[in-house]
Each structure stands twice: as structure tokens, then as C-alpha cells.
Amino acid sequence: MAKNWWKILSVIILIYVLTVGLIIEVPSLDVLNETIRNLFFHVPMWFAMIFIFLGGLIKGIQYLHHSNKENASLEDVLAFDHKSNAMIRTGIVFGFCGLFTGMFWANYTWGTYWPDDDPKLHGSAISLLIYIAYLLLRNSIKDEENKAKIAAIYSIFAFVMMLVFIGYYPRTQDSLHPGAEGNPGFNNYDLDNTLKLIFYPAVLGWTLLAFWIASIKYKFYRIKWEKENIS
């Protein structure tokens, strides 16, 4: 139970966000009105995706580093790769969730599910495409060590490109998406105190949930690998 405290914490925080977030009084701006509550779902999911991709990146780098050492056993070294794989797959799911919550919100605020020509939306869609190419890459290589090595290298490039395309590119263009003038997060909404009270815990909660799901996936991959290779 001691090593599962963070999972319990994530459940508690998310229950708090889901109930209090929907009940609490929110400041009302034109057009947005109640839809500001999407801020507790959409934005934290993207943050969770970025954190978990960062985790996948770090595990990939650790794999590359440890695979060079002479006394490393294959099991321990491949564990890094399995962790990276699990994290990136979970990240893609969270990315799609963030995209769908964004699309539903867009329908209420802008009248359309996908406005034409919006750079931030292009950025997020292409970043997901880059990581889907990662999945295709993994599928097309049979040998495990090769797979792990190449996937780790690709994930480094993918992360850098994602940062360029989600972080830098929307700041250079006019965009409907909030926060286009400066921080492409939530500049327009005067993030007032009640919102902050729910938003920051929400980021933590969704991120911890993402890591929990990734850890279950990792254990599953691990057991599958052990059954195939050790028995």
C-alpha cells in the first residue's frame, strides 16, 4: 500500500475535480459562460500527454545508455524499453482524449468542430500523427533490441518536433485558440482564484492517472515478454 499512495491520490483528486469542478461558481465571460469548465478536462489532458511523453523519452535515453554497458542483463535493459513503449501508447490515448474534448468545446464556442486554418489545432493533430508513426515503426521491426534502439532514437526526434509544433509555432500566428498572444495555454481567461483551485489539482490528477495506466501496461508487457522468453 505504501508504494501505491500516488494512485490513491490521483483517484481522490479526480473525484474532487469531477464533482466540485461541475458545481462550483465560475466567472462568466461572453460566449464562454459555462464551457470554461472544459478547462479542467481538456488542458490537463494535454499536460498529462506532454509529461508522459517526456517520461517515455527519458526511459528511451536510459535504454540507450544502459544497453552499452557490458554487465547489463538483457532483462533489465529491455525493461526501460517496455516502460517507454507503455508510456508513449498511453500518451497517444490521452492526446486523442484531449483532442476530442477540445472538439466538443469548439462546437459550443465557435460553432464548428474544427475551425479552418487554426495553427494550434494543426500542431496538435500533426504531433499525434508523429507519435502514431512511432507505433508503426515499432510494429515493423521484429528483432527486439533493434526495435528498442530505433524506437528510442525516433522518440527523441518526435519529442523535439512536437515541442516545436505545439509550443513555438502557435505563438507566431493569429489563432482563435485561447492564449494566442503569449502563452498558448490559458491567457484569455483571467485565471481567477476559483479556477486555479481546481485547475492545478486537475493537472496533477490526470497526470498521475496517466502514469498509473502506463504502469499497468508496462507490467502487462513485462509478463508477456517473460512468458515468451524465459519459459
Which stretches of the chain bind another protein, using CB under 8 A? 11, 14-15, 18-19, 22-23, 28, 30-35, 64, 67-68, 108-112, 115-117, 122, 126, 129-130, 132-133, 136-137, 140-141, 146, 149-150, 153-154, 156-158, 160-161, 164-165, 168-169, 172-176, 212-213, 216, 219-220, 222-223, 226
Give the contacts of 130 (CB within 8 A, at least 6 positions apart): 158, 161, 162
144-163 vs 42-66: helix axis angle to the nearest 10? 140
193-230 vs 5-23: helix axis angle to the nearest 10? 140
Question: Could you tell me the three cell numbers for 112?
Answer: 464548428
**Nearest residue (CB) to another protein, 72 versus 164:** 164
Quote the least distance from Cβ 125 to another protein, whole Å. 10
Quote the least distance from Cβ 65 to another protein, whole Å. 9
Give the contacts of 181 (CB within 8 A, at least 6 positions apart): 187
Cα–Cα dist 19/37, whole Å: 11
Amino acid at 105: W
Looking at the chain, the number of H-run helices and the number of E-run strands are 6, 0
Quote the least distance from Cβ 28 to another protein, whole Å. 6
**What count of Cα atoms within 13 Å lies in the side-chain half-sphere of residue 88?**
31
**Nearest residue (CB) to another protein, 16 versus 186:** 16
> What is the total residue count of the chain?
231
Q: Is 95 exposed, middle or buried (0-12, 13-18, 19+ CB in 10 A)?
A: buried
Quote the least distance from Cβ 185 to another protein, whole Å. 19
Q: At 129, which helix (H) or strand (E)?
A: helix 119-140
Contact 158, 166 (CB under 8 A): no
**Nearest residue (CB) to another protein, 110 versus 186:** 110
Quote the least distance from Cβ 105 to another protein, whole Å. 10
**Nearest residue (CB) to another protein, 72 versus 160:** 160
**Nearest residue (CB) to another protein, 125 versus 191:** 125
Quote the least distance from Cβ 230 to another protein, whole Å. 12
Quote the least distance from Cβ 174 to another protein, whole Å. 6
